[in-house]
């Protein structure tokens, strides 16, 4: 599903060019549930940005679902993100003035799905993550765990090929974290969905199929 070959990335906006990724080779098969670990500065956020088509890379190649992702225009990148990828963030990133249902429906808005239809689909997905009753609540009225469930529903609604999660449990207590991980696991099993989770928590990483460890912009371990 995901194939990276010698991907390199440097930042030039500092005084001296900073090479963040020094040639990453990795492969994630369809339906795999993989975690990426590494200390801060290891390049894992940059890697996730590249995987999420939020950032470009300098050299190498990145194939997503058989499509080469390189030097895309902003518009094409937006379309690929919308069709191929679902995002889950540490700080949820829900729009505060929209209800849970509207937040979940947002990716479909950019697919030009009609309002009534996308709200109905959003309701199904909220049901799937177990918070259908909270559909008409604003994010501020939800607990951290509930917010992350809304975010997961939003990531799933566009039927992506890959879900990318950036520290999805970073802002949650251990009980809620476990619930979220269980939900990920369940979705991965039921939908055969490819999942990549960036985390620094060992108990989270331990529950995934495979851990990729990054250090100083290189893959240290692929176990």
Partner 1 sequence: MFELDKWQEIWGTITRNKLRTFLTMFGVFWGIFMLMIMLGSGKGLENGVMDGFNGVSKNAVFVWGQTTTMAYGGLLPGRFVEMSNADVAAIKAGCKNLDILSPRNQLGGWRGGNLVTRKGKTSPFTVYGDYSEIAFIQSFKITSGRFLNPFDLSENRKVAVIGDQVAKILFDSTEVPIGDYIYIKGVYFQVIGTFKTLQQGGDAERESNSIYVPFTTFQKAFNYGDDVSWFCMTPKEGYSAEALESEVKAMLSSRLRIHPDDSNAIGAWNTEKEFNKLNGLFSGIGAFVWVVGIGTLLAGIIGVSNIMLIVVKERTREIGIRKALGATPWSITSLILQEAVVITTLAGYTGLVLGIGLMEGLNIMLQGQETEMFKRPEINLQIAFASLVVIVFGGLLAGLIPARKAASITPIEALRNE
Residue ranges that bind partner 1, judged by CB under 8 A: 49, 52, 54-55, 74-75, 78-79, 81-83, 87, 89-91, 93-95, 97, 106-107, 109-111, 115, 154, 158
DSSP string computed for 98-159: S-HHHHHHHHHHTTT--HHHHHHHHHHHHHHTT-GGGTTS-GGGS-HHHHHHHHHHHHHHT-
Query: Phi/psi of residue 135, each to 5°?
Result: -55, -35
CB of 49 to partner 1, least distance (A): 5
Residue 137: which of 111, 112, 100 has the closest Cα? 100
Q: Which is closer to partner 1, CB of 54 or CB of 123?
A: 54
Residues in the chain: 223
CB of 125 to partner 1, least distance (A): 14
CB of 115 to partner 1, least distance (A): 6
Q: Which is closer to partner 1, CB of 97 or CB of 189?
A: 97
Task: Determine which helix (DSSP H) or strand (DSSP E) holds 191, and give its type and residue range.
Answer: helix 174-191
CB of 89 to partner 1, least distance (A): 6
Q: Which residues pair with 198 in a beta bridge?
A: 36, 166
């Amino acid at each position: 599903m995901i194939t990276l070959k010698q991907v390199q990335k440097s930042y030039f906006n500092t005084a001296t060019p900073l090479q963040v990724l020094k040639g990453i080779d990795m492969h994630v098969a369809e339906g795999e549930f993989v975690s990426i670990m590494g200390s801060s500065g290891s390049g894992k956020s940059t890697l996730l940005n590249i995987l999420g088509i939020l950032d470009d890379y300098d050299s190498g190649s990145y194939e997503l679902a058989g499509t080469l992702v390189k030097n895309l225009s902003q518009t094409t990148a937006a379309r690929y993100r919308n069709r191929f990828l679902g995002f889950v963030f540490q700080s949820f990133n829900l729009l505060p003035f929209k209800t849970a249902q509207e937040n979940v429906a947002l990716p479909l808005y950019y697919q030009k799905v009609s309002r009534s239809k996308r709200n109905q689909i959003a309701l199904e997905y909220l049901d799937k993550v177990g918070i259908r009753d909270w559909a008409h609540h604003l994010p501020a009225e939800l607990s951290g765990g509930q917010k992350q469930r809304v975010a997961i529903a939003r990531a799933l609604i566009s039927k992506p090929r890959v879900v990318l999660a950036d520290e999805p449990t970073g802002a949650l207590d251990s009980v809620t974290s476990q619930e979220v991980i269980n939900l990920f696991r369940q979705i991965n099993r039921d939908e055969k969905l490819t999942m990549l989770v960036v985390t620094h928590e060992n108990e989270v990483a331990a529950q995934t199929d495979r851990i990729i460890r990054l250090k100083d912009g290189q893959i240290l371990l692929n176990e």
